[in-house]
Structure 1
Amino acid sequence: MITKFYDRLSNDLTQLLENPIDYNVTIEVGEEPVNQIFKVHSYILQSRSPYLKKKFNETTFNESHVKELKIPNISVKVFNVIIKYIYGGTISLENSIIFDLLIASHELDLDELVEHLQTHLVTNNASWLKLNFSRVYQISYRTKNFEIIRKFCNNIIAKHPSTIFGSENFLSLPEDALISIIKLDDLQLEEDKIWNYVIQWGMAKNQTFPAKLNEWTNDDFSTLKTTLKNCLPHIRYFTLSSEKVLEKIYPYQQLFEPELWTDINTKFLAPGKQISSTILPPRKILNVILPTRIPSISFSNIITDEHALEISSWIDRKETPYTENNPYEFKLLVRGSKDGFDVKTILEICDKVSNIVIVLKVEGTEEIIGGYNPLEIYNENIFGWRSSKNSFIFSLKTENLKNSFVSRVTNFNFAVYYDLGHSFFDFGKELNLRGNLKTKSSYCSSLYYEKPIRSNEDKFSVEEFEVFKFLPKK
């Protein structure tokens, strides 16, 4: 019988890290001014990390018989977690750094940790992965052993193709990543649209092509054929209707080998005749209508679940944003398309209501902006500034904005202003709502909050707006 005392061993080795007696290696991580030097022991690190073992062998001792290593591309915060794992076999996970921790673990050849972090992300942080999908997907396909993350991403893409095909990063997708997508049997996208995206991707690699197809030369078609040679075999040509073949495929017939092009035509002209080309099975398209994006919260026409989690995090001043299990309920109070677009409507319906969030979709730009007012509203015909330390305004992530951001009040005495008589509702000078929001009368400026939420100070109109009261979930 073997008795194992792992807890005591882990604790003792962790203590050795905290009091590095007889250390013989220093590792400087991060870049100035946010850098730190860790004093460590080569025997422990070599036995745990093949990457560090190789680095140690390539580095000579200095006069003090210490080897000095630098790893500037790993942050102090991330390396602090990793070094405690290496010494003690324990790990403390903080949501905001888990993906960076995964990337660093891969670099240091910590296979056990790489697998654990991938599983943790897809099991417990799916919302964060979706919110940062483009970055996650690109990195997962550049990194050989991110199979768990890759499988998760492919499942998302299969169900919601616009997640990647509608992304601004689609045209820069690596070839092997594109091929892995168009090979999916359950990709919920019509075959002619898949063809269109493949052609767009190929043309993006050859930006000297004429804009009009009828001006292309034989060399242009030959170049595109070479670019797409590994993608073309995965299009399911024989599932297309004759109309789609004529409309979509025929203009690009020079991309096909003569045998395949003959078989495509034969399939429609003489369906009973045997052909030699491989016929891929039809994709398994579901009979339900799939959403084109990550689903919105059911009671909002503007914001998504991820947006709601971000706003809740800002309300609670969380350094690490919520990624799931939102602690707040969003109770819809006012919606422009239902209740009208006059600011007076907001003040009248929200009488004696506190803790509200206003979200607005700007006409013509797809921007989603808004503000949080923790104060109770009084709709009497009075006006003036209201003081608050907790008000903030924000701009939420959209297709045109890479990341959401918050701007908190800095001059507390000028946090919120409203005037029922003039139909005004302001957050400082930064978000000024005026009269009928359908007219170009509202505007954003800069004075009493940390930073502006729009770069354009021109007046704008609102396509839709909603007002929610925040209630803690029971």
Structure 2
Amino acid sequence: MATKFYERLSNDLTQLLENPIDYNVTIEVGEEPDKQIFKAHSYILQSRNSYFQKKLNEISFNENHIKVLKMSNISIKIFNIIIKYIYGGIISSEKLENSFIFDLLITSNELNLDELVEHLQTHFVNNNASWLKLNFSRVYQTSYQVKNFNIIQDYCNNIIAKYPNTIFESENFQTLPEYALISIIKKDDLQLEESKIWQYVIQWGKAQNPTLPVNLKEWTSDNFLTLKTTLKQCLLHIRFFSISSEDIFEMIFPYQQILEPELWLDINKKIMAPNKPISSAVLPPRKISNVTLPTRTTPISLFSNIITDEHTLEISSWIDRQESNYTENNPYEFKLLVRGSRDGFDVKTIYEICDKVSNTVIVLKVKDTGEILGGYNPCKLDKNKNKWIYSQGSFAFSLKTTNLKNSILSRVKNFNKAIANYPQDLLLYFGKTLCLRNNLKTDKKCHCLQTEFSYDKLIRFEELVDNCLEVKNRFNVEEYEVFEVSKKR
């Protein structure tokens, strides 16, 4: 029986990384001016990882007999963990934030670290499933944009099977890749009526062909052929013989041209003469649970049109002045009070509905730029009196979006002029850092000022900030919402 001394081997190789005697590879990670150079050994890198094996074979030694590899698109913190894993076979994730671990998972996959990819996926599913649920849309899309995420894919598909509207009613549904849609509709335990599945598949097919006429009466044979070609693989997984005759007539009959003639004949034969044999394959009906599951129409539990659960965790962390953001188990409840598209876009509406309400968060999506700006006011608004509100706890912010890598937090520093409560002038200001005026959707008078700061940071890029001399950077909002924030019981 062989005795294995893996721990000592791991420690020795880790020490070799920290004191790289006879190194012959340098890896430049990150971008100027913050890049960091790691010294390594080609034999270890090539024997442990196929990515480095290929890369190092493509690079020649320089005059110092060193191979130089540049990896500017990887974060230094993530690479530091990966290189230690390659040398010592050790990784510790206890003190890492879940969002960072997810980025680590993506990078590990890009570097063909299959063992680490499998481990991190299992870690999420077994230990951090709540984070996956909070960030479901991002996780699900990513799992199908990259290879080897089978464990997370299966986890997501199981959630979708129980709560189909999580994906079918999401804004990302129409952009799903075909294989992702097929992986969902082929599931026997998908908790959705077959006629509904048919409607969603048709909706997805039309979205892939935006030039198709809106009115079905205007469709030509070529239009139906286009849709048939798009949905060819999806239609194989529709349980047509589990659909009621009424739904066949109302939902499938208008699209009969996208079905094979033999299948359409068998569907009708099954309705008119159910005991007659048919030649088409009959898929088993879905295994619909008799247990009523709670409704989940979207992974965003507060039904916001603007922010995600990840955003609310970040805002809650700022309220509690946490050094790092909450990643799960939000201690606060966000109760929707006002929504522009529902209640109106006048600042007066905010004062009317939020009068005498404290601890409110307002978020707004800027038209054209997609920025998400907002502010937190721990004090009560007053719809009857113009005044400045004193506050030590208010702050303004800009939330992370696809165009903004990190959120920006701006805390009040002039407590006496924290909130401009001016209902008679239709103004609601967070100092001069975020200024809301009149009708937020049509009047284009909202702005962020460069001067007279009562908060400590700009929350927009400097070129988008109003300098008081011109109004080119004033903006309208596409949507806004106000939430009352309270501690969960």
Superposition TM-score, scaled by structure 2 size:
0.76
CA-CA distance at 1:37 after TM superposition: 2.5
Confirm or deny: 8 A CA contact 2:354 2:381 kept in the other structure.
no
Task: Summarize deviations over 1:100-144 as a string: whole Å, max 9, x none.
Answer: 211221222222211111012223333443344333223322433
Moved more, 153-162 or 7-16: 7-16
Change (3 A) 1:240 1:404: farther
CA-CA distance at 1:427 after TM superposition: 2.5
Aligned to 1:124: 127
Confirm or deny: 8 A CA contact 2:385 2:421 kept in the other structure.
no
Would you say 1:47 and 2:47 are equivalent positions? yes
Would you say 1:35 and 2:35 are equivalent positions? yes
Change (3 A) 1:63 1:431: closer
Change (3 A) 1:358 1:4: same
In 1, Cα distance between the equivalents of 2:149 and 2:430? 45
Aligned to 1:427: 430
CA-CA distance at 1:231 after TM superposition: 0.8
In 1, Cα distance between the equivalents of 2:298 and 2:44? 47
Aligned to 2:88: 88
2:484 to 443, 447, 467: 467
CA-CA distance at 1:205 after TM superposition: 3.0
Change (3 A) 1:439 1:60: closer
Would you say 1:12 and 2:17 are equivalent positions? no
One-letter amino acid of the structure 2 residue matched with residue 28 of structure 1: E
Aligned to 2:245: 242
In 1, Cα distance between the equivalents of 2:375 and 2:483? 11
Aligned to 1:324: 328
Confirm or deny: 8 A CA contact 2:374 2:398 kept in the other structure.
yes
In 1, Cα distance between the equivalents of 2:253 and 2:410? 57
Aligned to 1:263: 266
One-letter amino acid of the structure 1 residue matched with residue 48 of structure 2: R
CA-CA distance at 1:73 after TM superposition: 3.4
Aligned to 1:77: 77
Q: How does 1:333-348 map to 2 (within 5 A)?
A: 343=351, 348=356
Task: Summarize deviations over 1:35-55 as a string: whole Å, max 9, x none.
Answer: 332210112212221221222
Task: Summarize deviations over 1:310-341 as a string: whole Å, max 9, x none.
Answer: 32223345575322133x35498x9689xxx7
Change (3 A) 1:317 1:125: farther
In 2, Cα distance between the equivalents of 1:460 and 1:200? 26
Unaligned runs of 5+ in 1: 351-355
Confirm or deny: 8 A CA contact 2:24 2:40 kept in the other structure.
yes
Confirm or deny: 8 A CA contact 2:26 2:69 kept in the other structure.
yes
One-letter amino acid of the structure 2 residue matched with residue 409 of structure 1: R
CA-CA distance at 1:7 after TM superposition: 4.0
Q: How does 1:429-468 map to 2 (within 5 A)?
A: 429=432, 444-447=446-449, 448=453, 449=455, 450-451=458-459, 457=475, 465-468=482-485
In 1, Cα distance between the equivalents of 2:323 and 2:173? 31
2:234 to 231, 234, 238: 231
Helix, strand or coil for the counterpart of 2:30?
strand
One-letter amino acid of the structure 2 residue matched with residue 191 of structure 1: E
Change (3 A) 1:187 1:319: farther
CA-CA distance at 1:347 after TM superposition: 6.6
In 1, Cα distance between the equivalents of 2:197 and 2:203? 10
Confirm or deny: 8 A CA contact 1:125 1:323 kept in the other structure.
no
Aligned to 2:314: 310
Would you say 1:294 and 2:311 are equivalent positions? no
Moved more, 449-458 or 103-112: 449-458
In 1, Cα distance between the equivalents of 2:43 and 2:176? 41
Task: Summarize deviations over 1:182-206 as a string: whole Å, max 9, x none.
Answer: 1122223332232222223223333
In 2, Cα distance between the equivalents of 1:229 and 1:421? 61
Confirm or deny: 8 A CA contact 1:442 1:460 kept in the other structure.
no
Aligned to 1:353: none
CA-CA distance at 1:145 after TM superposition: 2.0
How many residues are paired up? 457
Unaligned runs of 5+ in 2: 340-348, 366-370, 465-472
Task: Summarize deviations over 1:227-258 as a string: whole Å, max 9, x none.
Answer: 21111110111121222111211121121112
Aligned to 2:206: 203
Change (3 A) 1:306 1:12: same
In 2, Cα distance between the equivalents of 1:52 and 1:63? 21
In 2, Cα distance between the equivalents of 1:434 and 1:142? 42
CA-CA distance at 1:65 after TM superposition: 1.1
Moved more, 179-188 or 70-79: 70-79
What is the root-mean-square deviation in Å for CA atoms of aligned residues?
Answer: 4.5
